Structure 1
Amino acid sequence: MQLIHQHGGDLDAIERKYGIPKNEIKDFSGNINPLGFPKIAERALAENLSIISTYPDKKYTALRQAISNYSGAATEHIVVGNGSTELISTFIQTVHAQQSIIIGPAYSEYEREVSLCGGTFSYFPLKEEDNFCINLPALLDALTADIGMLVICNPNNPTGTAFTTVQLEEVLLHCKKIGASVMIDETYIEFSDNLNEICAIPLAEKFDNLFVVRGTSKFFAAPGIRLGYGVSSNQSFLHRLITNQDPWSVNSLAAFAGEKIFSDKEFHTTTQTLISKERKKAFAELSTWKNIKAFPSSANFILLRLLTDKTTAAELFEKLIQKKMLIRDASSFTFLDESYLRFCILSPEDNAALLKEMKLWVE
């Protein structure tokens, strides 16, 4: 079943193929916060289910204010959508660039949307010899006058590496000169230790060719509510984006939940502390293994490369799923092969169990 190796977190597909109840699987593939959905928001939703009988505010005023307080973006620069995927799709459709560059490896949705719009794209590679960090001069050389859009996931999925805000400003200046729009997907940035050094939202005030998009699926463990938001200072673009969206794209429950989760500062801090501590611990352990290379990460996951012919990522996937542990075979990502795999940070106990089991097969 090819789907299993290509998409993280597809527990229903795993359950069907392997006969393992999905509630018994430790999902190291989906990159979702192990703390689960914020309890404050969960209780508030349970007590206010009657809001499903009313339409949401068409301008999402309270939700956008909560996002502004959380992210630092100006309220008038914020647009909300039915998950970050809708905003990514709508932005790409709105820009309608004939030629785009995508920083790769990357989430397949970017290239899919570019293709659906009739555009062409090329990948600019993050290279292993650079530890998957950006070669900025080479990227600027690749951004020629015929490029209409640049797509960056920051931190990158699946490598975990990140552009700095200083580097992003240089990229935006160059793209402004050539008339290119820039979309930066910050899905994983809230898990970073150095968020203030890599965040693009402060640049939105200065550059009107920038669109920053975030979701709630990963950090807030809320893929089911389908809530995302974007930030841009380009008012004509925001108007086109909203015009192209379906009315009430975000439902009443999602809007209400968003107001609660973005203001739950204790949840934000607890998550960042847990992920930071466990990521450092896992990376330190993996760095002592002789048959694996672990790459430094600013996200809540770690990319690994097998340095042995004892097993492949696909074979390790099969061995671990029998132990009810689901990792991501990363070979389907552009530029990666069968030696690459990715796992996300869960609880201390789960992380220790995964590394113990993995070591049996790898070392």
Structure 2
Amino acid sequence: MNNTPLRIEQYATVLFNTNLNPRGIPDSVTRAIKENIETISMYPDIYYSKLKTAVAEYVGEPLDNIIMGNGSTDLLKLFGALLMPKKAMIVYPGPMEYARVLNDYSAEVVFYELKDENEFILDVNDFVSQLTSDMDMVIISNPNNPTSKKISLEDMKTLAGACKERGIFLVVDEMYIEFVENYKEITAIQLIDEFDNVAVMRSVSKFFAVPGLRFGYAVMNNPEFKEIIERITTKNNIASLTALAITNMFKDTEYINESISTIHTERSLVYLAMSTSRSIHLYKPDANFMLVKLLKDDITSAEVAKHCSQRGVIIRKCDDIKGLSNKYIRFCFMNPKQNDLMVNTILEIV
């Protein structure tokens, strides 16, 4: 007899571990690619005038403050090459890619721990107290991944000012910012006119669900650094089809508004549905995903993930994330029926 576990065919696989917008690829992107497929036989416009204008209008900044690249990691490497940091500080738990990029430039990486007992909320005053004048760079995400916690504009301004006083360049990664309620009120883009030591970078991968397009952008008000970046970057590094698709995508207000509404609703419903369980601890989310701690001694994240996968629910176990353990799981919010299945499946085993 074959003892191999049978897959439960009635459940379609849903990737709750990717943190992508559940609305999927915008129709504006699909149309732009279908209608302009012939552009792959042409070299891209090295000035990207329409694309840069679309980005500038989307963030409400002048064209001169816009930097474009092939995703957030590409931009992070660009800032690394620009600054050649000898010493940098990042927080943990947090995106593991930051340390890998800094290591590529042989930088000494100082880790600042976000405390579980403080709900993984950044204590900006304590963080600032750890900054030293021999640091060149600070990289911080807002909201944080995997904790889904945002940083207020007031705290970010405090951090930007402290970095400026010490000659530190601050990179703010806002990959998930559009998922935050009233995100325009907390985005660090509001600070760049005052602080020339701040760069805010974003990727379109998560909110617009198009990681395959490999596009990211940064906003910075530092003419000297901008001039250097213009000299060291490849002039036509963004594909023609990507440029056309992104240009149309940023103008797709229907998709943008419906996405914001969907995530805000589902985030509240999932949090409410799971908050009655005494066997888990929820870290109240600000983004489109939530971190959960397993409180029972006899259950691990691997066991929960395996149980969920049998129902086609793929979640993130966090045992490989610095600062977390096999007692933490993370999942994003999808469509209502998918979220119902996910919640019920997790509660069955925890």
TM-score, normalising length: structure 1 = 0.92
Structure 2 contact 292–329 (Cα < 8 Å) conserved: yes
1:68-114 Cα offsets, whole Å, 9 max, x none, are 11111221100111111100111122111111000221111110111
Matching of residues 101-116 of structure 1 within 5 Å: 101-116=89-104
User: What is the aligned partner in structure 1 of residue 305 from structure 2?
Assistant: 317
Tell me which amino acid in the other structure corresponds to 1:83: G
Structure 1 contact 67–262 (Cα < 8 Å) conserved: yes
User: What is the aligned partner in structure 2 of residue 68 from structure 1?
Assistant: 56
CA distance in 1, matches of 2:19, 2:70: 19
Secondary structure at the aligned position of 2:273 is classed as helix
**Identical residues among aligned pairs (%):** 34
Q: CA deviation at 1:241?
A: 2.4
For structure 2, the 5+ residue unaligned runs are 1-5
Q: CA deviation at 1:20?
A: 10
Match of 2:237 among 238, 249, 253: 249
1:240-294 Cα offsets, whole Å, 9 max, x none, are 2233323311110111111011010111100000000000011111111100111
Range with greater deviation from structure 2 (106-115 or 269-278): 106-115
Structure 2 contact 7–310 (Cα < 8 Å) conserved: no
User: What is the aligned partner in structure 2 of residue 341 from structure 1?
Assistant: 329
Match of 2:287 among 296, 299, 310: 299
Does residue 238 (structure 1) correspond to residue 211 (structure 2)? The answer is no
Tell me which amino acid in the other structure corresponds to 1:166: E
User: What is the aligned partner in structure 1 of residue 113 from structure 2?
Assistant: 125
Q: Which has the higher helix share?
A: 1
Matching of residues 52-67 of structure 1 within 5 Å: 52-67=40-55
Match of 2:78 among 69, 74, 90: 90
Structure 1 contact 328–343 (Cα < 8 Å) conserved: yes
Structure 1 contact 72–201 (Cα < 8 Å) conserved: no
Q: CA deviation at 1:134?
A: 1.0
Q: CA deviation at 1:196?
A: 2.5
Structure 1 contact 293–306 (Cα < 8 Å) conserved: yes
Does residue 186 (structure 1) correspond to residue 141 (structure 2)? The answer is no
Secondary structure at the aligned position of 1:294 is classed as strand
CA distance in 2, matches of 1:127, 1:73: 35
Structure 1 contact 204–211 (Cα < 8 Å) conserved: yes
CA distance in 2, matches of 1:65, 1:235: 18
Q: CA deviation at 1:154?
A: 0.4
Match of 2:198 among 191, 197, 210: 210
- Residues 78 and 265 (structure 1 numbering): CA distance in 2 closer, same or farther, change over 3 Å? same
Structure 2 contact 20–206 (Cα < 8 Å) conserved: yes
Q: CA deviation at 1:24?
A: 3.9
Q: CA deviation at 1:146?
A: 1.2
Match of 1:34 among 19, 22, 25: 22
1:282-335 Cα offsets, whole Å, 9 max, x none, are 111111110011111111000000011231111111111122110000121111
Matching of residues 270-285 of structure 1 within 5 Å: 270-285=258-273
CA distance in 1, matches of 2:81, 2:329: 32
Match of 2:251 among 245, 263, 287: 263
Structure 1 contact 189–298 (Cα < 8 Å) conserved: no
Structure 2 contact 8–311 (Cα < 8 Å) conserved: no
Q: CA deviation at 1:205?
A: 1.5
CA distance in 2, matches of 1:77, 1:20: 51
- Residues 194 and 310 (structure 1 numbering): CA distance in 2 closer, same or farther, change over 3 Å? farther
CA distance in 2, matches of 1:80, 1:145: 30
Secondary structure at the aligned position of 1:112 is classed as helix
- Residues 189 and 235 (structure 1 numbering): CA distance in 2 closer, same or farther, change over 3 Å? same
- Residues 136 and 289 (structure 1 numbering): CA distance in 2 closer, same or farther, change over 3 Å? same
